[in-house]
């Protein structure tokens, strides 16, 4: 009976994830090596699984044209590179704003902390789409930011911010800020302040103590925060689509366009496979960090 309970506990979510998470990836792979054809569904599979003996032979027959096409076309290559660059710099900007915020929160009085924590979590619950949309009205040429800057006399002509990469950076930093703040805050909150005092007693300058103790001990939180921002930002669609311009190249948007506007399922699948490969290293890092955190919690 006990075994029965245990088996079901593992079995039900396991099967669910196998069928609805892992299997779809295998299908994406299969379609990415298929040939595009107009029809329904719009592809011809080149890769049917019949037996293990046939499997090996067929590996040689895989149609890699889609991947060759991706590699030969500068548009796709640039889209991957620019997604990674945009995601990387947005992660750095998010860290630059998020760390001082988390640090300030951790140093607040114990009665204030839960309120500040709540305030950081609350935007995370409100719709992502809404938060991105809110920036359109602010960044438009006749928007509030330009009105403010004109009124202050900082600029004489409205700036073009919306539909540029700058707007994409603002959007990513804004949307993912809670993801950066929360892990850093949770490591800083646990940090024993007497360690910093001890470092200072032993002759460290306040800045030296900050660098050698605070940053060092907050490193797992910083790493987790950076991964939580970087990984989804690489594949982001909504932000580049709504805030970015025609010159903003991001792979999530390219994939969307290939699928919905061009109806090219095989290229979309190949794009998804390559995106996954690009993200494998950071995802594995993230998973290890999660597993470690779980072990530490025990």
13 φ, ψ (degrees, to nearest 5): -65, -30
> Dihedral of CA 84/279/171/211: which sign?
negative
Give the E-state strand segments of the chain in sequence order: 35-36, 43-44
Do residues 34 and 48 make contact, with C-beta atoms less than 8 angstroms apart?
A: no
Number of residues that bind another protein (CB under 8 A): 103
By the 8 A CB rule, do 168 and 244 touch?
Answer: yes
Instruction: Provide the minimum distance between the beta carbon of 269 and another protein in the complex, in angstroms, as a whole number.
Output: 7
Q: Which of 130, 152, 154, 207 binds another protein (CB under 8 A)?
A: 130
Member of 68, 107, 216, 292 binding another protein (CB under 8 A): 107
Residues between 31 and 60 that touch another protein (CB under 8 A): 31, 41
Q: Whose Cβ is closer to another protein: residue 62's or residue 191's?
A: 191
Closer residue to another protein (CB): 20 or 56 = 20
Find the shortest distance in angstroms from Cβ 37 to another protein. Answer: 14
Asked whether the beta carbons of 158 and 141 are under 8 A apart, the reply is yes
Query: Does the footprint of another protein cover residue 161 (CB under 8 A)?
Result: no
DSSP 36-52: E-SSSSSEE-------H
Q: Which of 169, 174, 183, 248 contacts another protein by CB under 8 A? A: 174
User: Which residues 81-100 are close enough to bind another protein by CB under 8 A?
Assistant: 97-98, 100
Q: How far is the CB of 230 from another protein (least distance, A)?
A: 9
In whole angstroms, how far apart are CA 31 and each of 42, 136, 168, 274? 10, 37, 31, 13
**Taking CB under 8 A as the rule, does residue 191 contact another protein?**
yes
**Binding flag, residue 294, another protein (CB under 8 A):** yes
SS3 label, residue 191: coil
What is the greatest pairwise CA distance in the chain?
Answer: 77
Task: Give the N- to C-terminal CA distance of the chain in Å, as an integer.
Answer: 27
**Binding residue for another protein, selected from 35, 44, 219, 291, defined by CB under 8 A:** 291
Q: Which stretch binds another protein (CB under 8 A): 49-57, 67-75, 122-130, 149-157?
A: 122-130
Near another protein by CB under 8 A: residue from 36, 168, 182, 188: 188
Our finding on whether 109 is near another protein (CB under 8 A) is yes
In the set 79, 161, 172, 181, which binds another protein (CB under 8 A)? 181
**Contact set for another protein, span 246-275 (CB under 8 A):** 252, 255-256, 259-260, 265, 268-269, 272, 275
User: How far apart are alpha carbons 203 and 187 in whole angstroms?
Assistant: 25
Minimum CB distance to another protein smaller for 158 or for 164? 158
Q: Which is nearer to another protein, 111 or 247 (CB)?
A: 111
Burial pattern 64-93, b for ≥16 Cβ within 10 A else e, equals: ebbbeebeeeeebeebbebbbebbeebbeb
Which one of 33, 79, 80, 140 is in contact with another protein (CB under 8 A)?
140
């Amino acid at each position: 009976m006990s075994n029965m309970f245990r088996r079901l506990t593992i079995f039900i979510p396991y099967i669910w994830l196998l069928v609805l998470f892992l299997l779809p990836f295998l299908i994406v792979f299969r379609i990415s090596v298929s040939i595009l054809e107009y029809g329904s569904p719009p592809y011809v599979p080149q890769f049917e699984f019949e037996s293990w003996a046939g499997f090996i032979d067929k590996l040689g027959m895989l149609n890699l044209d889609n991947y060759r096409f991706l590699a030969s076309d500068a548009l796709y290559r640039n889209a991957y590179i620019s997604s990674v660059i945009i995601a990387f710099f947005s992660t750095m900007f998010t860290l630059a704003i998020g760390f001082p915020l988390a640090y300030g929160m951790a140093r607040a009085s114990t009665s204030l902390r839960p309120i500040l924590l709540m305030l950081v979590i609350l935007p995370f619950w409100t719709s992502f789409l809404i938060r991105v949309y809110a920036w359109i009205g602010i960044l438009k040429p006749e928007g509030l930011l330009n009105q403010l800057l004109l009124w202050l006399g900082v600029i004489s002509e409205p700036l073009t911010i919306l539909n540029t990469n700058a707007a994409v950076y603002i959007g990513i930093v804004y949307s993912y800020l809670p993801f950066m703040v929360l892990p850093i805050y949770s490591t800083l909150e646990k940090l024993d302040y007497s360690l910093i005092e001890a470092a200072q007693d032993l002759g460290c300058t306040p800045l030296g103590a900050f660098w050698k103790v605070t940053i060092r001990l907050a490193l797992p939180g910083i790493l987790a925060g950076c991964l939580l921002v970087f990984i989804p930002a690489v594949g982001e669609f909504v932000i580049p689509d709504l805030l970015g311009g025609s010159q903003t190249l991001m792979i999530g948007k390219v994939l969307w366009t290939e699928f919905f506007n061009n109806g090219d399922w095989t290229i979309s699948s190949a794009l998804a496979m390559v995106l996954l490969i690009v993200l494998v290293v950071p995802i594995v890092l993230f998973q290890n960090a999660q597993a470690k955190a779980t072990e530490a919690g025990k």
